[in-house]
Structure 1
Amino acid sequence: MSVKSSISLTNQQDAFARSLVKSGRYSSLSSVLQQGLELLRQKTEAETVETEALRELLQRRLKDPMISTTEMESRIDAMIERKRWSV
């Protein structure tokens, strides 16, 4: 189902959208705007998923025991050494 809507574009946005139609990449201005909104929807959903994943990671990290800076540096050095020998 389609919904008709009135929108305002800047001159630059209008020129760009019309150039996409003129070049044959899209069949109409409506198609250009629909694709733009779809990409924005996908980006927004991906950001939501990423934000939730980061939130969960932070919660897990806060529940885990903390280690000292010295211990972390030691672990990083050991990881680098393992990588060096595995190449």
Structure 2
Amino acid sequence: MNVKTTVTLSDEDLRFAEELVEAGRFPSVSDVIGEGLSRLRLEESESDPVAGMADEIRRRMELPRDQFINMEDDDLFERVRKRLNSRPAR
């Protein structure tokens, strides 16, 4: 859902956004602003590992059920235990 709002830009920022539109890199100034926000959101999730993990979990939860990993058929936990047990003690 898109929401219309008003944003105040400096002359320099508006000029830059309009140049990007004129160059064909974006269809509108709104899209330039949206891309900037998307990049900031991505930057935030990359700097916060928990937020990044939450994003990944949400993405995986949107997958069809037949693409889920059946943990009964996966020995992941056993492999992790073996690996941890094989590490030298500190």
Aligned residue in 1 for 2:42: 42
Cα deviation, residue 38, structure 1 = 0.2
Matched residues, percent identical?
A: 33
Cα deviation, residue 8, structure 1 = 0.6
Aligned residue in 2 for 1:22: 22
| Residue segments in structure 2 that go unaligned for 5+ positions in a row | 51-89
Q: Letter of the 2:4 partner, please give it.
A: K
**Aligned partners of 2:8 and 2:47: how far apart in 1?**
26
Q: Would you say how many aligned residue pairs link Structure 1 and Structure 2?
A: 51
TM-score by length of 1: 0.55
TM-score by length of 2: 0.53
Cα deviation, residue 49, structure 1 = 1.4
Cα deviation, residue 45, structure 1 = 0.8
Structure with bigger RCO (C-alpha 8 Å, 6+ apart): 1
1:32 matched to 2:32? The reply is yes
| Residue segments in structure 1 that go unaligned for 5+ positions in a row | 51-64, 66-87
Cα deviation, residue 34, structure 1 = 0.5
Q: Larger helix proportion, structure 1 or 2?
A: 1
1:25-45 Cα shifts (integer Å, max 9, x gaps): 000001101100000000011
Larger radius of gyration: 1
Which structure 2 residues correspond to residues 1-87 of structure 1 after superposition, within 5 A? 1-49=1-49
